[in-house]
Structure 1
């Protein structure tokens, strides 16, 4: 199974690690308030309660600081997606658990804020979008794809392209609640509302990839 994100910082003495975290947390507040382009290293230093010299000792650029912020967020949140993997559950129960966790994660204030920043800055700073994708969705998709491949090898599922299937599942989880939350539209998002979405997502997915349903229809060959 693909590893989840590695620790977001090198080994540092306790005081240095705490100072680094203090800076990242200050940066998070500034990024949330001003976006990436609107945030300055001076603002971040003031918010974090450090000098600019100290800030640059830890992060040599705003891009490096934003990358550390995104990576730390992924380290904290992504493991929550896969708590049901490895437990003695049916594929259906596992998939419902993953779908529910994915909806909760993508509608969390942190995820909504990161999505807003990345989308608004992507045209000007594509590296931000690439960083976000690599340490967030892409890593989660890789872990999930490995699980799908393992279940296919066991004959439980029939998933010819685990990465594509994982991306399809991820897309299904953007239905209704996440889509509306990202547009700041009112939507019910309590546990029962999330479960009401997670169950049909799982049924749709298993209707395509359950080994008992027969082989999926092959994709047409790409046009040269």
Structure 2
């Protein structure tokens, strides 16, 4: 097995990494040129190579840095001690917002396009992304079950179903037409539908009644006098 050359970290390491990140997210591994990366980072090619002996190591470092950002963002998912019908809209909005964000779309495209070339990184993406979120959601669902708010037999399946519902309509549109093509109203409709379907399917009777009572309330319109 060929020994991987070490990565040197110095004064301009973060600068080089940021330039490489922008080019890799834009052009992918194959399309990214060392010249473009050096130009974007504002360093010479000699400086670039002094930090990263080859482009492959640079790509791996950039990809893992992106995964670290994504994993950190997911930690805030379920650390809120409120009724599930109040917490779930927040969780769903955060998940959907990430799925259709410029960052989320670019990292997904990058991991999918380079999965064959970098299978170990693709596995890292799955484990620290979708699988990690599934695990955190499952933990939260178990907590809600202990409080009598949810009734779920398969926690992992329910977590996957919630993630897929968060992507309905908006993710494909963002993927093919770009994140800017998805409107705030479309995201709002997706999130509301996701919360309603999930709670009516897995919520306890009290939670289901809560959802239906909110839907039955008349919409109060303000008047000019107010």
Query: Same fold by TM (over 0.5)?
Result: yes
Match of 1:11? Answer: none
Q: 1:18 to 1:202 in 2, by over 3 A?
A: farther
**What's the counterpart of residue 68 of structure 1?**
64
- TM-score, normalised with respect to structure 1: 0.73
Single out whichever of 183-192 and 121-130 deviates more from structure 2: 183-192
User: Aligned residue for 1:174?
Assistant: 167
Matched residues in 2 for 1:43 and 1:157: separation? 52
Q: Distance in 2 between matches of 1:78 and 1:18?
A: 30
Q: Deviations over 1:8-32 (max 9, x none)?
A: xxxxxxxx68744323311111112
1:77 aligns with 2:73: yes
Number of paired residues? 195
CA positional deviation for 1:37? 2.5
Q: Tell me the residue number matched to 2:153.
A: 160
Alignment partner for residue 37 of structure 1, among 26, 30, 44?
30
Tell me the equivalent position of 2:42. 49
Cα distance change, pair 86–116 in 1 and its aligned pair in 2 (3 A) = closer
User: Aligned match of 1:127 in 120, 136, 139?
Assistant: 120
Q: Distance in 2 between matches of 1:56 and 1:126?
A: 21
Q: What aligned pairs does 1:106-117 form with structure 2 within 5 A after superposition?
A: 106-117=99-110
Q: Are residues 118 and 165 of structure 1, via their aligned partners in 2, closer, same or farther at CA, if it must alter by over 3 Å?
A: same
Indicate how the Cα distance of structure 1 residues 186 and 26 shifts in structure 2: closer, same or farther if over 3 A, else same: closer
- Where structure 2 has 5 or more consecutive residues not aligned to the other structure, the ranges are 1-8, 207-226
Contact 1:67-1:131 within 8 A present in 2 as well: no
Q: Structure 1: which 5+ runs fail to align?
A: 1-15, 214-224
Per the alignment, do residues 154 and 133 of structure 1 end up closer, same or farther by CA in structure 2, a change over 3 Å counting?
A: same
SS at match of 1:156: coil
TM-score (norm 2): 0.72
Larger fraction in helix: 2
Aligned to 2:218: none
